[in-house]
């Protein structure tokens, strides 16, 4: 097969591993810098150009779209879809996952467990908003933050009020969330490929920190999932419409709670922690599912 990897950097671990896995399995592969693609949007024959040539005859595309280029990145994936190329994750699903509020609304509609979450633009009553999610301590998040940046723990009601008002003064979109204390600064990353959890790790925040992101100094270890956790991760990926997803779960007293669903989950942490060939499993998924014009949402958005 001929496979395109949309990535801004060939040297990133995830990109390198996907290239390697493609080659090992006998596929032709090319890394394409997302922002360097340009397109011809016509009703007859949608085209994608790259470095002066037309991209042609690709069977599948693996989008690795960084948060900062979601808008253009999803447009490039959509163009591939219009050309009939099978996307590992569809553009619409990537857009959904990038917006934490939209994701949580979809997950709650389908009954997936999540921390109590409130969202507001400019409420007259910040106290009521705080009360709505159970009072302090609580977590305040920027809607489009990533890698733990823009996630704040407010320990007291007063602190919560000040932080919320400060963010609102900056016109930032935020959500407020019940703080799951019993998770103890740990969360579980479930790596889902094609409706199955293929690998999972527990990430533990360093001493004095509640955010377990590896980018914030968290450490990863192997974890055994309960059947409920496994089912929750699979359901969350399905609801989001993602074939490949990193579902982040908090272990709470009332069971697994989904915090977020990532559409371009990194491979380094999970492969190192589990010793599994996750890249190979993604390529295997493509081999089993890629057919021309198989994008589910074709024509809708």
Residue ranges binding ligand ADP (CB under 6 A): 115, 139, 141, 145-148, 151, 177-180, 183, 187, 205, 210-213, 248, 250, 259-260
Q: How far is the CB of 210 from ligand ADP (least distance, A)?
A: 5
Minimum distance from residue 66 beta carbon to ligand ADP (Å): 13
In this complex, which beta carbon is closest to ligand ADP, that of residue 25 or of residue 116?
116
Which of 147/297 has CB closer to ligand ADP? Answer: 147
Taking the complex as a whole, the smallest distance from the CB of residue 276 to ligand ADP amounts, in Å, to 21
Judge contact between 46 and 293, C-beta under 8 A: no
Residue whose C-alpha is closest to residue 194's, from 298, 91, 102, 278: 278
Of residues 195 and 206, the one with the C-beta less far from ligand ADP: 206
Q: How far is the CB of 176 from ligand ADP (least distance, A)?
A: 9
Going across the sheet that includes 174-178, the strands are 117-120, 174-178, 138-142, 151-154
Burial class (CB in 10 A: 0-12, 13-18, 19+), 207: exposed
- Output the CA–CA distances (angstroms, integers) from residue 173 to 142, 168, 198, in the order listed: 6, 7, 34
Please tell me the distance from the alpha carbon of residue 220 to that of residue 236, in angstroms, as a whole number. 22
Cα 58 off chain centre by: 24
Nearer to ligand ADP, 250 or 290 (CB): 250
Minimum CB distance to ligand ADP, residue 59 (Å): 32
Give the nearer residue to ligand ADP in terms of CB position, either 29 or 242.
242
Q: How many CA atoms lie within 13 A of 31 on its CB side?
A: 18
Closest approach of Cβ 152 to ligand ADP, in Å? 10
End-to-end CA distance of the chain: 27
Closest CB to ligand ADP among 151 and 282?
151
- Residue 192 region by backbone torsions, left for phi larger than 0, else alpha for psi between -120 and 50, else beta: beta
């Amino acid at each position: 097969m001929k496979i395109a990897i949309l990535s801004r950097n060939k040297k990133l671990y995830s990109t390198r591993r996907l290239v390697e896995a493609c080659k090992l399995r006998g596929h032709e592969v090319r890394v394409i810098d997302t922002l360097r693609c340009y397109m011809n949007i016509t009703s007859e024959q949608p085209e994608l150009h790259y470095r002066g040539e037309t991209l042609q005859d690709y069977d599948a595309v693996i989008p690795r779209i960084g948060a900062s280029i979601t808008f253009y990145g999803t447009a490039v994936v959509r163009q591939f879809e219009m050309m009939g190329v099978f996307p590992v994750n569809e553009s619409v699903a990537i857009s959904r996952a990038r917006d934490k509020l939209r994701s949580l609304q979809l997950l709650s509609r389908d009954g997936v467990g999540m921390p109590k979450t409130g969202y507001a633009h400019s409420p007259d009553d910040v106290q009521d908003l705080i009360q709505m999610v159970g009072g302090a301590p609580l977590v305040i998040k920027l809607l489009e933050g990533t890698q733990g940046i823009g996630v704040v723990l407010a320990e007291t009601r007063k602190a919560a009020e000040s932080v919320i008002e400060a963010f609102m003064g900056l016109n930032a979109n935020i959500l407020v969330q019940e703080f799951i204390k019993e998770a103890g600064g740990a969360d579980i990353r479930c790596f889902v490929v094609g409706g199955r959890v293929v690998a999972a790790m527990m990430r533990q925040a360093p001493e004095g920190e509640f955010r377990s992101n590896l980018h914030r100094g968290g450490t990863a270890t192997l974890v055994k999932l309960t059947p409920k956790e496994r089912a929750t991760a699979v359901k969350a990926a399905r609801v989001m419409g993602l074939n490949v997803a990193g579902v982040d779960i908090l272990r709470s007293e009332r069971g697994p709670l989904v915090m977020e669903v990532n559409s371009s989950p990194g491979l380094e942490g999970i492969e190192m922690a589990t010793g599994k060939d996750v890249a190979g499993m993604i390529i295997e998924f493509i081999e089993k599912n890629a057919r021309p014009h198989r994008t589910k949402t074709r024509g809708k958005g």
